[in-house]
Amino acid sequence: MSAPRSRFATIALVALAGAVAFGVGAGSTAAQEVRTTLDGVYTDEQAERGRATYVRTCSQCHTLDWYTGDLMKAWAEAPVFNLFEVISTTMPEDNPGSLPRRDYVDMIAYILKVNGMPPGDAELSTGASRLRQILFRWSAGS
């Protein structure tokens, strides 16, 4: 595993463990509408903007397969906000947090698309409370 990939994997797993320890999972959104990544929480247009940002900003260090497979499935049942928090505070590695909030959310839409999550009619929100209401979930066959 390359150094950037190893660093991201470590950060991702620590963030996920912290979310579970501090109750930032499904239980903390009980009074709110909980959705999953299988509910069409982004648009194709948003994912395309995210793809462009990925190519411009991320692809030099992270290949596309970086965003699929077991590393991503480790986020199962965690709020989308947790991934947003990790990438928006640690990436790009040479200038963390330097992108507009919308760019980070658009990249998450792209990540959802490359993981086979269906698009919907409304864009993924940039609001933290809305991102906390959406849980990562994969279909039974994936």
The reply to whether 119 falls in a domain is yes
Number of Cβ atoms within 10 Å of the Cβ of 57: 18
Cα 48 to Cα 3, 45, 117, 123: the distances in Å are: 28, 5, 14, 12
The reply to whether 141 falls in a domain is no
The reply to whether 128 falls in a domain is yes
Number of Cβ atoms within 10 Å of the Cβ of 13: 14
**Containing structural domain, residue 52:** 3-135
Alpha helices by DSSP H, the chain: 3-21, 44-53, 70-73, 80-90, 101-114, 128-132
**What local confidence, expressed as pLDDT, does residue 42 receive?**
98
| pLDDT band with cut points at 50, 70 and 90 for residue 17 | very low
Tell me the whole-structure pTM to 2 decimals: 0.79
| pLDDT band with cut points at 50, 70 and 90 for residue 139 | confident
Q: How many domains does the chain have?
A: 1
**What local confidence, expressed as pLDDT, does residue 85 receive?**
97
The reply to whether 142 falls in a domain is no
The reply to whether 7 falls in a domain is yes
More confident: 13 or 137: 137
The reply to whether 25 falls in a domain is yes
How does pLDDT run across 51-102, given as a tens digit for each residue? 999 999 999 998 888 888 888 999 999 999 999 999 999 999 999 999 999 9
The reply to whether 53 falls in a domain is yes
The reply to whether 44 falls in a domain is yes
The stretch 8-36 carries a mean pLDDT of 54
